[in-house]
Chain A
C-alpha cells in the first residue's frame, strides 16, 4: 500500500488522540462517581430529603455497579446527553452550545492579540540581546507570569472604565439597548459585520477589547519567551551564518530563514499556552460577566449544580485536545522535514 508519508503521519497523530479522549471520559466519569461525597445529593439539590435522594440515586443508576454505570455514561455521551442543569432546568448540552461561541470569541481574540504582539516582540528581542526591546520583553514576560488574570482585568476596568470612561461597563458582550446580531457563527463581531450593522459591531468590539486584552496579557508571556529563545537558537546556528556569508539580505535571513525555523518550537508550546488560556478564561469571564461557558460553570459551582460543572470540564478538555490536534496536524503538514526520513 502506498500512502503518502504525510497522510500516514497525520493519521498516526489522530490515533494518538484516542487514549487522551478515553482518559478524559474516564476522569470526568470518576469525578462524579468515585470521589467522596454522594453525587445523588448534589444532583438532588440542597433542599432534598432522604426519599427523593434515594429516588434520584435509582434514576441516575447510581445503585448499579461502576462498570455498568460507565457504559451508561458513555452511551449518554454518544447521544449528546450531558444531563440536566438543576438550577436552570435546561439540558446542559443546550446551554453549553449556546454559550460556547462567546467563550471561543473571547479566547480566539485574545490569542490573536497575544501572538500578534508576542512573536514580533520575541523576534526583536532576539535580534538585539540586551537592547531595550530585550529588556522590555523580559519585563513583559515576568509581569505576565506573575499577574493574576483576574487582577489585571480589574485593574483595566478601573483605569479604562472608571477613570478614563473609554470602555463600557464590564457587563457582558453588548449594551443593554443593542440587540444581538442575527445568529450566523455565534461570534457577535463577525455576525454584526455580516449583517452590516456598524453600530452593533462597534459596541461588540468595545465590550470585547478589555477582556481579550486581559487574557492576551496572560498568554503573551510564554509565547514571547519561547519565540525569543527559539530565535536566539536559530540565529546562532550554522545555516544562518551560511546565509549571511552568501550575502542574503538581513530581512530575508530574519524572516524566511530564522523565523520559519524558530516558529516550530513556538507552535508546539502553544499547547501549554492553550491550557493556561482556557483556565484563565474562566476567571476573565467572571470579572467581565462574560456570558460564556466559564461563567456558566462558576454560577453552577456556587449552587453545586454538578451536571453543569461536569459538562463544562468535559467540554473544556475536548476543546483542549481538539486545539492541540489541530496544531499538531498543521505542524505535521507544514514541516517539510517530517515524513522524509522514513
Chain B
C-alpha cells in the first residue's frame, strides 16, 4: 500500500525534470544535426559497453585461409592480413579508444579544475606559479609533448592516458580560473562568506558550479581531440600493442596495404575514429545550445 502523496510535493518533484527533458527534446528536434549526434553517441556507448558480445567473430582469431578478403556477406568489413574480421575488431576497439579518452579527459577535468579554481580564487603566488606552469606546457607543440612524455615515462596505455590528460589540462585550468576569478567578489560569494563558509567550501560549492556549463561544452569538444591524440600516438607505435584491437593501430597496420589496393583494412577503423570525433564535436555544439542558447552559431 502506498501512502497518498501530498499534491504539492508531487507537483514540485518531477516538474523541473520534465522541463529539462522538454528542453532537451526541443533542442534535439529543433536541430536535426544535434539529434543525429545524440543517436551516434548512443551507438558508440552501446558498442563500447556490449561490443564483445555483439560482434560475429572473435577479434583476435586468425584464419590464414581467409586473409585479406574484401568486404563480403560473411565479413562485412573484410578481413585483415591475418584473416581477422575487421568489423569485429573495429567494434571491439570502441571500448579501449573511448576508455583512454574518457579517462584522459576526466583526469584533465579534475586536475585542471583544482589548479584553475585555486589559482582564480586565491590569486597571488599560487596564480603566478600555476600560470607559469600552464604557459610552459602550452609552449610545446602539444602532440609532440605527449610523444616525449610517453617515450620517457614508458610505452604503456596508462602513460598515453596521462600524457593526453596533461596536454588537455591547460584548457580546463584556464577556463575555471577565468570563471572563478570573475565571480570572486560577487554578492553571493560575500553572502556565503558572511554566513561562515570557509574559503575552500565557497570555492567548491558556490563558485565552481558556475563554471560547469562552459566546462561541459569544453569536455565534449575536448573528447574528440583526446580521441584523435590517443589514436595518433598509437598510430606511431606508442601505447597499445598489437594484436589488441584499437583504431589508431589498425589504421597503421592497414597503411601498409593501401598502396596495393586493400583499402578496407585502414578505411573502416579510420572511419570509426572519424565518426567518434565528429559525434563529440557535434555534441559539443548541441550542448552549447542546450545550456547557453545565446551563443548559438
Contact = CB atoms under 8 A, between A and B. Distances in A.
B231 interface: yes
18 contacts: A20-B135, A24-B140, A26-B136, A35-B152, A148-B251, A150-B255, A151-B266, A162-B259, A170-B259, A275-B140, A279-B144, A297-B147, A304-B151, A309-B147, A309-B148, A312-B144, A320-B139, A321-B139
B38 interface: no
Nearest to B236: A298
Interface string B253-297: 011001111010011001001100110011000000000000000
B258 A157 contact: yes
A145 interface: yes
B6 interface: no
Given A161-B259, A309-B147, A31 B152 contact: yes
B153 A279 contact: no
B228 interface: yes
A138 to B, nearest CB: 9
Interface string A297-329: 110011010100110110011001100000000
B44 to A, nearest CB: 14
A28 B231 CA distance: 24
B212 interface: no
A274 interface: yes
A110 interface: no
B143 interface: yes
B153 A23 contact: no
Given A148-B232, A161-B259, A316-B144, 9 more contacts: A36-B153, A145-B224, A145-B277, A151-B273, A278-B144, A280-B143, A301-B155, A313-B145, A320-B140
Interface stretch (A179-187, A191-199, A281-289): A281-289
Interface residues of A, number: 52
A313 B282 CA distance: 33
A23 B235 CA distance: 29
A313 B137 CA distance: 12
B237 interface: yes
Q: Among B145, B152, B266, find the residue whose CB has the most chain A CB atoms closer than 10 A.
A: B152
A23 B281 contact: no
A146 B224 contact: yes
Chain A interface helix/strand/loop/mixed = helix
Interface string A156-171: 0110011000000110
Interface of B: 132, 135-136, 138-145, 147-149, 151-155, 224, 228, 231-232, 235-238, 248, 251-252, 254-255, 258-261, 263, 266-267, 270, 273-274, 277-278, 281-282
A278 B266 contact: no
A40 B232 CA distance: 28
B144 A301 contact: no
A321 B277 CA distance: 29
A69 interface: no
A147 B141 contact: no
Contacts of B154: 36-37
B151 A309 contact: yes
A154 B270 contact: yes
Contacts of B263: 158, 162
A127 interface: no
A283 B224 contact: no
A301 B151 contact: yes
Contacts of B254: 154
A203 interface: no
Given A35-B153, A146-B277, A148-B270, A154 B143 contact: no
A148 B273 contact: yes
B277 A148 contact: yes
Contact of A151 (B132, B148, B261, B270): B270
Given A37-B152, A148-B274, A286-B235, A27 B259 contact: no
A283 to B, nearest CB: 6
Nearest to B261: A162
Contacts of B270: 148, 150-151, 154-155
Nearest to B237: A302
B236 A316 contact: no
A313 B144 contact: yes
Contacts of A320: 139-141
Given A146-B278, A150-B255, A279 B143 contact: yes
Contacts of A169: 259
A46 B275 CA distance: 39
Q: Among A151, A161, A313, find the residue whose CB has the most chain B CB atoms closer than 10 A.
A: A151
Contacts of A247: none
Contacts of A150: 232, 235, 251-252, 255, 270
Given A19-B135, A309-B147, A154 B266 contact: yes
A32 interface: yes
B144 A282 contact: yes
Contacts of A142: 278, 281-282
A301 B147 contact: yes
Nearest to A320: B141
A154 B251 contact: yes
A40 B268 CA distance: 41
Q: Among A20, A32, A147, A275, find the residue whose CB has the most chain B CB atoms closer than 10 A.
A: A275
Contacts of A31: 148-149, 151-152
